[in-house]
Amino acid sequence: MTAFPPAASRSDRFPVRRDLDGDFALTDLCRLDAAVASPTKPHRWLATAAYEHQIWRLDLPTDDRLLSWAKPVADPAADSEPGESDLALLHAFEICGLWHPPVSDNLTGLSAPRACAWLAIANRWILLSHTSGDLRLLNTACKLIGAVWTRWPTPADDAWPSIAGPLAHTARLLNDATHSLTERLRRYQPLTSAAVSASSFRPASTASERPAILVLAGAGSAGAQQFLADLPQPSPVTAVCWYAAPDSAIPEGSAYASAWYPPEAPTAAPARRSQPHLPESRQHLARNWDDVTGIVNHHRADLLVLIGMPIVPKQVLRQARLGVINAHNGALPQYRGMDAVGWAVLNNDPIVCTVHKAVAAVDQGNILATTTVTYRPPAGLRSRVKAAQMDLLRAVTLHTAATGRLPEGRPQGPGRQYYRLHPHLKRVLDTRADNLLTRT
């Protein structure tokens, strides 16, 4: 079996780091001995049983009844769309913390029987991703495969050699799915979207009393510095709270450390960084959420503007009288969550930036403004997305400063949650980045 696609010239952007990212080279997987009978589709009730038995939890014993559901048996009633159990199981796997680098440190409790069940789930999701078009299933399948590959072979467990056959079969399915996805990316057609731009609202009146506006940004955020520097003077921002988060960041060498964007041009100019026009007395440093809450209360903030922040807890969100706003690099509600630009490219959807009201449910508050970002030239996409987000945030902030109220928001309907892209899919995107030049 020959792995597809061949190594791309730009694949070194995301080198395979087996232990750090739970990653694999498809060529290595395809070298496994596949001289075993090819299993058929996994049982249709596998996801239900796996969710009920919390198969993602390594601290629980593997129930023998679950393993019987994981056996590859013929199932003429197998469905072509993921069921509620599939999506619930996928979400549980994605948020359980197993994929936070270094991934190998999280997998010490992965046994061979559980690994077999994970591979059966991966098989089901690879097939369902093809029939349903939901590539989230393929993405999480890659994480399950990478986890098993990271732990195999394990000399301390005599059962691990039995994984070779199932792993080889899963590799064959993944190879076919990768080939299909790569070919689909090759046949991209340009798509556009009629999006509401930031210029669609203008201040119609002047606020009787200037609202207190506080920017809450990650410490050292270049985007926040530029946002502040580009505001008219005197600045409508009352103060800035720089949040120095506890050290839980993803290691810099991990492919999960940043979202996927097309490769930048080698001669691309560095992003412009200006200093914010705010005195030191109006800039504060917070090291925890209690510090943030105290600073917000001290300034009696009416509006809180988030820039480069992790998930903000309720205790902060409820402090601002008018609310909290956040910029997202995806269309809402269609692209909630992580790696929205990469997912939009994979799905051949327009790239849309959104400013929304931040609420306890991530990326689910009222939509305040959106704008579409063109794909080409691909080398500048990252900077254009960042600029679009800051422009939208700036427009909403100025509107609120002038009127004393937020723009009229639009409630979100049902949406779809996305998760961090596995490095394998980032490499697939890189192999076709140049072929996407026709996108608008």
Per-run averaged pLDDT (10 residues), the chain, 440 residues: 50 89 94 61 79 93 70 57 94 96 94 91 94 97 97 68 85 95 76 45 58 94 92 94 82 92 71 66 93 96 95 92 96 95 94 94 91 89 95 96 94 94 96 59
Residue 146's Cα: distance from chain center in Å?
18
Report d(CA 400, CA 414) in Å as an integer.
Answer: 28
- Asked if residues 63 and 113 have their Cβ atoms less than 8 Å apart, the reply is no
Q: What angle do CA 197, 201, 204 make, to 5 degrees?
A: 165
| Best CA proximity match to 216, nearest among 311, 151, 121 | 311
Q: Which two tokens stand for residue 6?
A: 């061949």
Cis peptide before 102 (omega within 30 of 0): yes
Q: Which two tokens stand for residue 101?
A: 């680098």
Q: Which two tokens stand for residue 438?
A: 């026709």
Cis peptide before 333 (omega within 30 of 0): yes
| All structural domains of the chain with their residue ranges | 11-186, 198-436
- For β-strands 283-286 and 323-328, DSSP reports them as unpaired
- Asked if residues 105 and 151 have their Cβ atoms less than 8 Å apart, the reply is no
Residue 131: which region, alpha, beta or left (left: phi > 0; alpha: psi -120 to 50)?
alpha
| Best CA proximity match to 94, nearest among 360, 339, 347, 428 | 339
Please enumerate in sequence order all residues whose Cβ is within 8 A of that of 278, keeping only pairs 6 or more positions apart, or say none: 228, 235, 237, 239, 240
- Asked if residues 439 and 391 have their Cβ atoms less than 8 Å apart, the reply is no
**Is 276 strand, coil or helix?**
coil
Assign domain 198-436 to its CATH architecture.
Answer: 3-Layer(aba) Sandwich (3.40)
Q: What is the end-to-end Cα distance of the chain in Å, rounded?
A: 37
Name beta bridge partners: 160. none
Q: What is the pTM of this model?
A: 0.89
pLDDT of residue 375: 86
pLDDT of residue 207: 53
Single-letter amino acid code for the residue at 324: V
Half-sphere exposure of 266 (CA within 13 A, CB side): 1
Half-sphere exposure of 330 (CA within 13 A, CB side): 27
Helix crossing, 381-403 with 222-229: angle to 10°?
50
- For β-strands 351-357 and 367-373, DSSP reports them as antiparallel
Single-letter amino acid code for the residue at 95: I
- Asked if residues 340 and 318 have their Cβ atoms less than 8 Å apart, the reply is no
